Amino acid sequence: MKGWYKHPREHALAAKGISTKKRMEAKGVVADLVKFPTEDIDYWDMQEVFTLFWVSSLSNNFSKFNFDKAFDFIENTIKQRLNEHGAFGWDKYLEYIEELYGEDLTIDNFVIKTQMTFLTKERLMEGMEDELAKSDDYYDYVRSLTFDEYEDFDSEQILEAYNGWGFETPKKPNVDDLVDRIVEQRIEEEWLLDDFMEYRLAESYLSEEDKSYLAKVASEYMWDKWGHVEEYQNLKDLYDELAYNRPEILSEKVALMDRAIDAQHVTGSIWDSFRDVDELRERVEWEYRREHGW
């Protein structure tokens, strides 16, 4: 889902007319960090983080590099990317959608159209129908309409209805029993489901229940599509290590940073502010060689 999400900080900077590229150019961050390595960098800017990491690696001196701050933001960003792809279930996916669009949602907010992923409104509605067909709300809807249809029947009409539906007549025919049987058949045959969908979607915004149905459909669709892909399996493994098993030894911390850099190299979409990790690394190494006379 490349380019579909920006961190709120990027929105704030964009509102001020300050792009990441312009900030990079204005600060000359690569050249400055090569000449004057400092721990006082923006750990929300992965270009600065990667630059300082590589400078520290080239000089074999990581005293200026704060691994914990770097890992915190990497973990948060990878979690966001995985969540976009349904890795943490429908409830977390819904939180993500509400973070993007607010709590007043329509079905259109769950539609996804990118080069790699195409989740249409029609597919979402089909999935929502499947979820609604199993819900207590649908049962209550069908029973209410059915009871309204038969509640005023007299005993003769009730017997005719039993015969008309092909039901075996009980010893004591009554409206409640008749309605229960009709509802069971209508539920099984999905009678009134289209009407129920139209009724549910008639409001301007989705109810909490309907948001959960659509989030379930969308998140399962996304993870079914991407969860088996090796790059996303590796990304999930990387997130788990960052979140639950961070290393304490320097060499292992360096190796974990290298894995994060490789993940950006492979997917190209963890951080949208820059795609070409190799180009940035070449620039850092060139500046370092020039500064140190290699």
Q: Point out the residues of the chain with pLDDT beneath 50.
A: 1-27
Confidence at residue 170, expressed as pLDDT on a 0 to 100 scale: 86
Residue 210 CA to residue 262 CA, distance in Å, equals: 39
Which residues, at least 6 apart from 213, have a Cβ–Cβ distance to it below 8 Å? 127, 128, 131, 132, 135
pLDDT digits (tens, 9 = 90+) for 230-265: 888 888 999 999 999 999 999 999 999 999 888 876
First-to-last C-alpha distance (Å) of the chain: 41
State the virtual CA torsion across 203, 207, 212, 215 in degrees, nearest 10: 40
Confidence at residue 27, expressed as pLDDT on a 0 to 100 scale: 41
State the virtual CA torsion across 266, 271, 275, 281 in degrees, nearest 10: -80
Overall pTM surpassing 0.75 (yes/no): no
Amino acid type, 42: D
Nearest-10 crossing angle of helices 67-84, 250-267: 30
pLDDT digits (tens, 9 = 90+) for 146-173: 999 999 999 999 999 999 999 988 888 8
Per-residue DSSP letter, 84: H
In this structure, are residues 191 and 143 in contact, taking their beta carbons and an 8 Å threshold? no
Confidence at residue 42, expressed as pLDDT on a 0 to 100 scale: 87
Residue 251 CA to residue 257 CA, distance in Å, equals: 10
Distances (CA, A) of 245 to 46, 75, 103: 22, 12, 34
Closest CA to 214 of 124, 97, 132: 124
In this structure, are residues 55 and 32 in contact, taking their beta carbons and an 8 Å threshold? no
